[in-house]
Chains A and B, each alone.
Chain A
């Protein structure tokens, strides 16, 4: 069949294109131009296309498949970069990879794929799509260390039907690189991408400062009792749970406990003050019929952690998931809360900054 393959120029999506082409499918490669690479890397005269786009094109040429570069700069700026800056300005911690998957990748490319007469959209994500009795299910990848199901929770059921994740069953990254080498792809040993793609130098606060200067205005650092401990140079430099770069000498290390954007205050406290049991997640996407009563699940509140046992309830009126963790954890508003039933992602949402209030959930 004709399959649209989102090719980033990295080894993962290159292998996806290679495997599908090898299996006899008509692969249509698409690489998204998401930002002006020359400007992001602050190199004058650099091409707007980064090395990744050139790599993707070379892989497609090697495989003998069609390849197109799609200009998504404006869409990416509106849907992902602005949201990134706005989220910081709200005192929350953005998760741009989820936003990108949700909009620029799955929403838009599914439409494009259908327009082009493709029967599926394949990506290099490490997740498994399992045919279940009620349609496609999203499961954790075979390689737990690489699993990206967390970042895919916002994929709609319709998009999931259309999606393919050929790397979900790969044992590990080495196996993927081995396939790339077997296919003779030049990207076989290309290093993994790091950090956030549109902030290549890792200086998030510069990006936020340009788009939301208000988030870079100075303010006070206080403790939970409101005592002023010091000054900061913008709330966007802080995120809940952060323990470095606070800039205050104290007997024990201080962590960001809360960000209060309205008064430009950072509330800090000792490590022990951070964990909480209750949380709420909004902007919910369910990949099953929403549960009608409290449900025991595991839940992941940040990308790099294993799912934790919890009980959830669906507050349909508010459109929010009420979460009660078995073991208190760090809840950073803005991050995704992804709900698992065993290996399967059943839904998720974005953590809200209301978690200090007692939850409605009686457990």
Chain B
């Protein structure tokens, strides 16, 4: 089995696993007054410090994951502002901001700064942009975006779920969403970082945990794992990825790689094989033992057309692109195995179409 679906979830890092197991043996509830509660609280605050230091400066609100962190930010910051969202944002953001105005992207998936600037002139705004796209890995020029927002007095919420464990995340945001399992942690924890001075109201009030910004007992094992994963050495996978892309293009000149010309995450490759349904590719590769994905998976498991590629003007390719995302522990053999399976798939499908 070859696992190349890191952007769905990263394999668990050993240090994250160890941290989670240690935290599972911690008896107390972090909100309890007694000795065991304080021990749990110490673990929780250590994780908070680690995350805050790694991605901050800022305060840290723990959540159940990236989706909740994004939703919390929008819920807290949107009132009184127009919400502007990148056209290629994750459904976690799009669904949390109904009625938002889409900021267009160019053919490479990069946000249009001119369009953003124009939109910012129309009044107080909350801008939601991802640091890196989940399907293509394409990174927005967040330093410029932050400068435009600052000049216009707008707030900036950054979805860093894909970028966080994979390199540097630019500053200048008011809030930043991350997810534990996308960094090699355990599923079930995420965090919203708030820049100094930014306070928000809770989406879930509950018992007043997280300084009243998120009710509910913190998922300590998953949070401890997230903190451990956050400070793991990020692997540079771009050499491996670039070699893989070069070999695919060599094998099949008709292949289109979305966002190839612009800065991208080093692990992500969005590979379109024109005329072949993404769904067929994902299934064929799975049956050959290679795990990749396409578009955004719905809970039913069906493969939907990619709204990301459509926003990039690659509508005709939106149904034929797969996402290959190398995990932190990817090897050259993994990539070789993928290329063999991919080439066999392409040959069989072109034969059956003939």
Contact = CB atoms under 8 A, between A and B. Distances in A.
B352 A114 contact: yes
Contacts of B302: 33, 48-49, 69-71
B300 A116 contact: no
A115 B352 CA distance: 6
Interface string B276-301: 10011001101100000000001111
Interface string A54-72: 0001000000001011110
A60 B277 CA distance: 23
Contacts of A53: 300
A69 B287 contact: no
A66 B286 contact: yes
A357 B51 CA distance: 82
A71 B299 contact: no
Nearest to B344: A117
- Find the residue from A33, A48, A111, A116 having the highest chain B CB count within 10 A: A116
Contacts of A57: 301
Given A70-B279, A114-B352, A33 B287 contact: no
Contacts of B299: 47, 49
Given A112-B280, A115-B280, A115-B348, A66 B300 contact: no
A47 B300 contact: yes
B60 to A, nearest CB: 32
Interface in A103-122: 111-112, 114-117
A115 B286 contact: no
A221 interface: no
Contacts of B352: 111, 114-115
B280 A48 contact: no
Given A48-B298, A49-B299, A71 B287 contact: no
A117 B284 contact: yes
B349 interface: yes
Contacts of B298: 48-49
A33 B301 CA distance: 10
Interface in A84-129: 111-112, 114-117
Nearest to B286: A66
A57 B298 CA distance: 14
B304 interface: yes
A28 interface: yes
Contacts of A2: 287
Counting contact residues on chain A (CB < 8 A from B), the size range is: 10 to 19
Nearest to A117: B348
Interface string B299-326: 1111110000000000000000000000
Contacts of B287: 2, 28, 66, 116-117
Nearest to A48: B300
Nearest to B348: A117
Contacts, number: 50
A57 B302 CA distance: 12
A49 B300 contact: yes
A66 B300 CA distance: 15
Interface in B73-109: none
Contacts of A111: 352
Contacts of B304: 71
Nearest to A118: B287
A55 B348 CA distance: 31
B299 to A, nearest CB: 6
Nearest to B299: A47
Contacts of B283: 28, 68, 116
A330 to B, nearest CB: 40
Contact of A71 (B276, B279, B349): B279
A142 to B, nearest CB: 33
Given A115-B349, A115-B352, A117-B348, A68 B301 contact: yes
A70 B281 CA distance: 12
B91 to A, nearest CB: 13
Nearest to A72: B302
Contacts of B301: 49, 57, 68-69
Contacts of B300: 33, 47-49, 53, 69
Nearest to A116: B284
A49 B298 CA distance: 9
A187 B152 CA distance: 60
A28 B348 CA distance: 17
Contact of B284 (A33, A47, A70, A115): A115
A262 to B, nearest CB: 39
Contacts of B286: 66, 68
Name the residue among A47, A53, A112 with the largest chain B CB count within 10 angstroms: A112
Contacts of A117: 284, 287, 348
A2 B349 CA distance: 16
B167 to A, nearest CB: 33
Interface string B37-51: 000000000000000
Interface string A8-44: 0000000000000000000010000100000000000
Contacts of B349: 115
A48 B300 CA distance: 7
Q: Which 10 A-B pairs have the closest CB atoms?
A: A49-B300, A71-B302, A114-B352, A69-B301, A69-B302, A115-B349, A33-B302, A115-B280, A69-B300, A68-B283
30 contacts: A2-B287, A28-B287, A33-B300, A47-B299, A48-B302, A49-B298, A49-B299, A49-B300, A66-B286, A66-B287, A68-B279, A68-B283, A68-B286, A69-B301, A69-B302, A70-B279, A70-B302, A71-B279, A71-B304, A111-B352, A114-B352, A115-B276, A115-B280, A115-B348, A115-B349, A116-B283, A116-B284, A117-B284, A117-B287, A117-B348
Interface of B: 276, 279-280, 283-284, 286-287, 298-304, 348-349, 352
